[in-house]
Amino acid sequence: MTAVVRKIDELGRIVLPMEFRKELKVGAKCDMSMEVKDGTIILTPKECVCMECGTVIPPKTKYNLCQECVKKIKEDTSVG
């Protein structure tokens, strides 16, 4: 993946590009570990929660959904 330049806002925040989030499979409620090592900031996904129900799920979970919610969604879409 290529490098991306982002500005830091007034509150010290930056936005992770969508391409990065997709590659790491992290969603809006994922915890990220941050450290500075040799002048480089390292971000590592730690803990995520299901976007549907809030259950803790492992990082890199497909669609950022727990297995139960995936099952419910599949059942709902197959009914119609």
Most confident of 24-28, 46-50, 72-76: 72-76
Q: Is 48 helix (H, G, I), strand (E, B) or coil?
A: strand
Closest alpha carbon to 63 in 49, 47, 43, 76? 49
Neighbouring-strand partners of residue 49: 56
Most confident of 15-19, 23-27, 47-51: 15-19
**Burial level of 59, CB count in 10 A (0-12/13-18/19+)?**
middle
Please check the confidence at residue 27 and state whether its pLDDT lies above 80: no
Percent of the chain scoring above 90 in pLDDT: 31
